[in-house]
Amino acid sequence: MSAQEAASLVWRPEHLRLAIDAACVALWSWQVDTDRFTMDERAFGLWGLAWSKEVAFEELSAHVHPADRDRVRAAFTATRSVAGPYEIDFRIMLGDDVRWISARGQGADEGIVDRVMFGIFLDVTGRKQAEEGHELLAGEMSHRVKNLLAIAAGLTRITSQSTTSISDMAEVLTERLTALGRAHDLVRPVPGHEGKAVLLGDLFSVLLAPYDDPGAFAGRIRVAVPRMGVGEKTATTLALVIHEMATNSVKHGALSAGCGILDISSTTDDRDVFVVWAETGGPHISGPPDMHGFGSKLISRSIAHDLGGALSYDWQESGLVATLRLRKDRLAA
């Protein structure tokens, strides 16, 4: 008995359907001459369409994400001439929702029957979201390491300007780098601390402590905000924002100068909290800098997505004045 004959005894049609349903596989067939698809109910559900006997390729294309539409059309056409199995991943739009679909089949008309090709659709949204999350995390980690090196260099420079001996410089720089390590812990969630709150003023004070000057210019970072608690998720997002803005200030702003001053204040209304980051005493500002780097995009995305807020910049000659708007009802998250 051949392997195929043995399989036919085990894999009956009803068994194959059970396996297909268990794997969440959607089936399609493509009439290559008329460009029409016949699909099972799962496939129609995947595309957000009511079941029908068949559907035109252009009808399906209308649901493909505009950024992927031309690529998908070209890829399906190319399968007629490219031998071997293929896999085409693309996005479709279901109202405001985006879903990732993987279309798989055999190219170069392999397995074609009466001008009909066969294949499957898989919903790979979860995998794609995980991949995007990993890419974002990798980019964030790379960016953060570069920032930490830049901060260390900046702290070394301003420490050398405010100390009079190598031993004093080593002591002050060690204290600053140690404080930077403690602050860095606040830039990531800590397991087991979900739902616990930290005071908004303490969050700013701890994160900005490494950049203050313990010598003649002690107290050049001043935090005056109302007493209010923020939850773990909000604290993590704010930590990212503060860390990024402090890094930029050490590189280019008030914290790059020994006599530069940073004031943090805030006001509230019925709906929002407004935190004002005001720098003075730093290098002269001639105009707005390029704000298209990874760090700027990261904090804008985090503020909008996690806090329902926004960050605006006012590049005054005396220094940067940035206003962070936060939704009150998001603070405890």
Q: Identify the structural domains of the chain with CATH numbers, from first to last.
A: 3-123 (3.30.450.20), 128-330 (3.30.565.10)
Residue 234 near residue 331, CB atoms below 8 Å = yes
Q: Mind listing the pLDDT tens digit of every residue in the chain (333 residues)?
A: 565 655 555 667 777 778 888 888 899 999 988 989 999 999 999 999 998 999 998 889 889 999 999 998 888 888 888 888 889 999 999 888 899 999 998 888 887 888 888 999 999 988 888 887 777 777 767 766 776 677 677 667 766 766 778 887 787 677 667 766 665 565 454 444 444 567 888 888 888 887 776 554 567 889 998 888 887 777 777 877 887 788 788 878 888 887 889 999 999 888 899 999 999 988 887 777 776 665 677 678 778 887 888 989 898 888 899 999 988 888 877
Q: How far is CA 326 from CA 257, 299, 302, in A?
A: 29, 13, 12
For every residue of 36-94, DSSP letters joined together read: EEEE-HHHHHHTT----S-EEHHHHHTTB-HHHHHHHHHHHHHTTTS-EEEEEEEEEEE
User: pTM of the entire structure?
Assistant: 0.48
Alpha-carbon gap, residue 23 to 42, rounded angstroms:
11
CA–chain centroid gap for 154, Å, is 27
């894999």: which residue's tokens?
11
Alpha-carbon gap, residue 31 to 37, rounded angstroms:
6
Check residue 284 and report its DSSP letter: P
Which one, of 274, 203, 215, 271, lies nearest residue 242 by Cα?
A: 203
